[in-house]
Amino acid sequence: IDRFPRHVGDTPEDVLHRVFGFQTFRGLQEDAVSAVMNGEDVLVLMPTGGGKSLCYQVPALCRKGVGLVISPLIALMEDQVAGLRQLGVRAASLHSEMDYQDQQTVQEDLTCDQLDLLYISPERLLTSYTLNLLKRCRLSLIAIDEAHCVSAWGHDFRPEYRELANLKQLFPGVPRIALTATADPRTRSDILTALDMPQAHVLMGSFHRKNLFLQAQPKLSEIRQVLDALSRHMGQGAAIVYCGSRKKTETMARQLREKGYTAFAFHAGLPPAEKKNVLLRFRSGEPMVVAATIAFGMGIDRPDVRAVIHLDIPASPEGYYQQIGRAGRDGESSHTLLLYSGEGVARARYWLEESQAPEGEKRAMQGRLESMISLTETTGCRTQAILACFGETLHEPCGHCDNCLHPPSTFDATEAAQKVLSTIYRTGERFGALQLIAVLKGKMTEAVERHALHHLSVFGIGKDKTDTWWRMVIRQLIARGAIGMTGDHGGLGLRRDTARPILRGDIVVSLREDASLRHAMAASSTS
Q: 317 preceded by cis ω (within 30°)? A: no
Residue 22 contacts which entry, ligand ADP, Zn ion, none (Cβ below 5-8 A, type-dependent): ligand ADP
| Region at 374 (left for phi over 0; alpha for psi -120 to 50; beta for the rest) | alpha
Provide the pairing of β-strand 176-180 with 201-204.
unpaired
Of 440, 427, 412, whose CA–CA distance to 510 is shortest?
A: 412
The CA distances from residue 130 to 101, 104, 459, in Å, are 16, 12, 71
- The binder of 381, among ligand ADP, Zn ion, none, by C-beta within 5 to 8 A per type, is Zn ion
d(CA 52, CA 178): 10
26 binds ligand ADP (CB under 6 A): yes
Using CB under 6 A as the binding rule, whether residue 52 contacts ligand ADP is answered as yes
- Is 53 one of the binding residues for ligand ADP (CB under 6 A)? yes
What stretches of 315-358 show up as alpha helix (H) in DSSP? 317-324, 342-354
Interacting partner of 336 out of Zn ion, ligand ADP, none (Cβ under 5 to 8 A depending on kind) = none
> Number of residues in contact with Zn ion, rule: CB under 5 A?
6
Kindly state whether residue 195 participates in binding ligand ADP, applying the rule CB under 6 A: no
Query: Quick check: 216 binds Zn ion (CB under 5 A)?
Result: no
Stretch that binds ligand ADP, among 43-51, 61-69, 353-361, 395-403 (CB under 6 A): 43-51
In residues, how long is the chain? 527
Nearest distance, CB of residue 27 and ligand ADP, angstroms: 8
Contact between 314 and ligand ADP per CB under 6 A? no
Compute how many other C-beta atoms are within 10 angstroms of the C-beta atom of residue 215. Answer: 21
218-237 footprint of ligand ADP as x/- string (CB under 6 A): --------------------
CB 241 within 8 A of CB 291: yes
* Residue 83 or 407 having the CB closest to ligand ADP: 83
Question: In the range 348-407, which residues lie near Zn ion by CB under 5 A?
Answer: 381, 383, 397-398, 401, 404
Determine which helix (DSSP H) or strand (DSSP E) holds 504, and give its type and residue range.
helix 496-504
Q: Please give the sequence-ordered ranges of beta strands (E in DSSP) within 329-486, or none if there are none.
A: 334-340, 410-412, 483-485
CB 426 within 8 A of CB 432: no
Nearest 5 degrees, angle CA 66-CA 70-CA 76?
A: 110
Q: Name 177's bridge partners.
A: 42, 143
Alpha helix locations (H) across 195-290?
222-233, 246-258, 272-283
Question: Does residue 46 interact with ligand ADP by CB under 6 A?
Answer: yes
Q: Provide the minimum distance between the beta carbon of 353 and Zn ion in the complex, in angstroms, as a whole number.
A: 32
Candidate residues 19, 48, 59, 110; the one interacting with ligand ADP per rule CB under 6 A: 48
Q: Which of 51, 65, 299, 432 binds ligand ADP (CB under 6 A)?
A: 51
Q: Residue 120 forms beta bridges with which residues?
A: 70, 94
Tell me 166's DSSP state. G
Residue 398 binding partner per list Zn ion, ligand ADP, none, with a CB distance cut-off of 5 to 8 Å that depends on partner kind: Zn ion
Interface mask toward Zn ion for 404-423; x: CB under 5 A: x-------------------
Which is closer to ligand ADP, CB of 209 or CB of 219? Answer: 209
Element (H, E) at 426: helix 414-426
- Give me the least distance between CB of 154 and ligand ADP, in Å please: 17
Q: Which of residues 320-339 bind ligand ADP (CB under 6 A)?
A: 329
CB of 283 to ligand ADP, least distance (A): 13
Q: Which is nearer to Zn ion, 152 or 394 (CB)?
A: 394
Residue 52 binds which entry of Zn ion, ligand ADP, none, with Cβ cut-offs from 5 to 8 Å by kind?
A: ligand ADP
Per-residue x/- marks for ligand ADP, 286-305, CB under 6 A? Answer: ---------------x----
- Cα–Cα distance between 300 and 474 in angstroms, integer? 37
CB nearer to ligand ADP: pick between 32 and 413: 32
DSSP string, 77-127: HHHHHHHHHHTT--EEEE-TTS-HHHHHHHHHHHHTT--SEEEE-HHHHTS
Cβ–Cβ under 8 Å, residues 45 and 180: yes
Residue in 54, 76, 499, 520 binding ligand ADP, rule: CB under 6 A = 54
Binding site for Zn ion (CB under 5 A): 381, 383, 397-398, 401, 404
Summarize as ranges the residues that interact with ligand ADP (CB under 6 A): 22, 25-26, 29, 46, 48-54, 301, 329
